Amino acid sequence: MSLLVAQEIYKSFGGNKVLQGVSLEVSQGETLGIVGPNGSGKTTLINVLSGVIKPDSGVVVFGGRDITHWRPHRRAKLGIGRTYQITRLFANLTAIENVMIPLHYGSRQEASQERIEEILQMVGLSHKKENYASDLSLAQRKRLELARALALNPKLLLLDEVFAGLNPVAVQEIVSLIQELKNKLGITIVIVEHVLKALSQLADRVVVLAEGRLIFEGKYEDMVKDKEVIKAYLGERYGASA
């Protein structure tokens, strides 16, 4: 069964048509990768799914409910968590507080010490729990952002370029972490990613966006051979000769 359905999403900023009729479905427990060149509308799509941006037209359905007009805080309560390409943590709050707030406000769970500890443990940050978010390294901030999303008890995680700016070792660590979350908690994941190696390890299925349209949908292995995709990334000449 599809947990998330987006139908015919259109979004323009001024004259710039960023999304031009994007439709996709994500099944329960599946990990869907979204790739595409810069400016192809990936982040806008994530913003539409998390409710930060309202689409001009189109419908977003989550767990059978039309949430197109829901604001982000209501979606959070439904169990839609997200991370940002550039982390949006509460810089002047501690790691504990960053996790405690979504526990209380988002998933309406009791924000007990044990639960907070458990979540921080899961992302490997229990040794940094008293630190302010602003004092953490980039890789740690990414982990904390994952922890914050996990505190929502999410059914769906939207990950926007988690690996951006990380070194290969940190990338591999976070790949393992996400795999663990997927296997242990069975969370459905939509992941936007430029680091294709990481994506190949995580995604069950991949869609490719180019100029606001879906040009490919299928297995990762097929994507790298697809002529349309190569053309979108490398231009006409390479696409023709590939």
Partner 1 sequence: MDTGLQLLIESLLLGGFYSFMAVGFALIWGVLNILNLAYGSYIILGAYLSLFLFRYAGLDPILSIPVSFATGFLFGILVQKLIFNRAMKLEPFMVLIISFGLDVLISNALNLLFKADVRSINVSYGGDSFLLGEVIISKVKLLVFVLSLLLTFALYLFLNRTWTGKAIRAVALDRDGAMLVGINPSQIFLITAGLGTAISFSSGNLYGILQGFTPFDGGLLTVKVFLISILGGLGRIESAVAGGFLLAFIEIFSSFYMGEGWKLFVALAVMVGVLIFRPRGLLGSKYYGEAQ
Residues contacting partner 1: total by CB under 8 A: 28
Residue 18 three-state SS: strand
Sort 61 into a burial class: Cβ within 10 Å, 0-12 / 13-18 / 19+: middle
- The DSSP 8-state label assigned to residue 211 in this structure reads T
31-35 and 188-192 beta bridge pairing: parallel
Looking at 9-17, 102-110, 160-168, 205-213, which segment touches partner 1 (CB under 8 A)?
102-110
Site for partner 1 in 26-85 (CB under 8 A): 50-52, 71-73, 76-77, 81-82
* Closer residue to partner 1 in complex, CB, 101/195: 101
The least CB distance from residue 157 to partner 1, in Å, is 12
Q: Which residue number, 81 or 216, has a Cβ lying nearer to partner 1?
A: 81
Place of tokens 């192809």: 40
Residue from 8, 16, 57, 88 in contact with partner 1 (CB under 8 A): 88
Cβ of residue 222: shortest distance to partner 1, in angstroms?
33
> What token pair was written down for 216?
């490919």
Q: Which of 25, 97, 173, 204 binds partner 1 (CB under 8 A)?
A: 97
Residues 6+ apart with CB under 8 A from 161: 43, 85, 192, 193, 194
101 forms part of the interface with partner 1 (CB under 8 A)? yes
Nearest to 149 by CA among 193, 196, 194, 181: 181
Residues near 184 by beta carbon (within 8 Å), at least 6 away in sequence: none
Of 45 and 76, CB closest to partner 1: 76
Give whichever of 46 and 207 is closer to partner 1, judged by the CB atom: 46
Residues that bind partner 1 (CB under 8 A): 50-52, 71-73, 76-77, 81-82, 88-93, 97, 100-102, 104-107, 148-149, 151-152
